């Protein structure tokens, strides 16, 4: 069964990808982590998210090893430190990431979070990388509505995504940021969609999971995936974990399920500051 997709930067991208935070750090886990990423690609979880910050390039090098011989099947996302998001430093950061990944073009390149570099300068630097063929699309991470409005005013109309912390316990973006992105056809990427595993064992999730013959974390992941235009990027360090994540794609939550989750994890009643991990 084909993996569902959503539009990002004018192309179809899998709604369920693979995160790599804290992957590539431990040599003892390297083989299993590479197998996990390759299994994900085989299952259609073709979007792989990494960053120069993750292990100071170690995660990117792990991804590069995993996609050898599979480059065309993968959609690679990496992120730049905010201090590297300037006109002079972003090209250098991009080249380092390209070398780590062993590729000549990053599919999606993001500003990891907002720093001191003016957004207008970052937009200019991203556009220059795109025109040079070093990246296909660019976007941002951890920017709230006010930042996004400033970004667009600074010429950032080619921004393809905003990668944000979004899960059952972090529902603040539903109040304003997610609708804002939807109205402008900017994809949202949800990192830590199961709150780094901390949702495991929650009694409401367990109850719903039992009704569906699923796991509690599959329910939490299916809840994120229920929303159109949202891409989830859970981390999985083993083949079995990847397969469990992929199974969440076939889990359809009922109206009663969603109402029960709303009672256990209330939606925001007003504006909340965008949270980060």
- Positions annotated as catalytic residues are 54
- Helix, strand or coil, per DSSP, at residue 138: strand
Residues 95 and 64 sit within 8 Å (Cβ to Cβ): no
d(CA 109, CA 151): 15
- Residue 57 per-residue DSSP state: G
Pairing of strands 11-14, 5-8: antiparallel
- Helix, strand or coil, per DSSP, at residue 173: helix
* CA 233, chain centre distance (Å): 4
* CA 18, chain centre distance (Å): 8
φ, ψ (nearest 5 deg) of residue 55: 65, 25
The torsion region of residue 15 among left (phi > 0), alpha (psi -120 to 50) and beta comes to alpha
- Helix, strand or coil, per DSSP, at residue 261: helix
Q: Is 158 annotated as a binding residue?
A: no
Give the residue numbers of the binding site. Answer: 112
Give the residue numbers of the binding site for substrate. Answer: 112
């Amino acid at each position: 069964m084909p993996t569902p997709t959503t539009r990002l930067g004018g192309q179809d991208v899998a709604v369920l990808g693979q995160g790599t935070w804290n992957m590539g750090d431990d040599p003892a886990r390297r083989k299993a982590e590479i197998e996990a990423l390759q299994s994900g690609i085989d299952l259609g979880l073709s979007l792989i998210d990494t960053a120069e910050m993750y292990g100071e390039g170690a995660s990117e090098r792990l991804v590069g090893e995993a996609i050898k011989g599979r480059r065309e099947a993968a959609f690679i996302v990496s992120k730049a430190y905010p201090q590297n998001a300037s006109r002079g430093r972003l090209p250098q950061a991009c080249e380092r990431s390209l070398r780590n990944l062993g590729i000549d073009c990053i599919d999606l390149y993001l500003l990891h979070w907002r720093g001191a570099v003016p957004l207008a300068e970052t937009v200019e630097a991203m556009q220059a990388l795109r025109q040079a063929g070093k990246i296909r699309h660019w976007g941002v991470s951890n920017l709230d509505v006010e930042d996004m409005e400033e970004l667009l005013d600074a010429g950032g109309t080619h921004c393809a995504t905003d990668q944000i912390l979004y899960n059952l316990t972090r529902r603040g973006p539903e109040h304003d940021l997610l609708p804002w992105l939807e109205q402008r056809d900017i994809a949202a990427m949800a990192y830590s969609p199961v709150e780094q595993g901390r949702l495991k064992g929650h009694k409401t999730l367990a109850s719903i999971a039992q009704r569906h013959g699923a796991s509690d974390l599959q329910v939490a992941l299916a809840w994120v995936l229920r929303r159109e235009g949202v891409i989830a990027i859970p981390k999985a360090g083993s083949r079995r974990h990847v397969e469990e994540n992929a199974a969440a794609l076939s889990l359809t939550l009922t109206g009663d399920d969603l109402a029960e989750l709303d009672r256990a994890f209330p939606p925001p009643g007003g504006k909340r500051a965008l949270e980060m991990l």
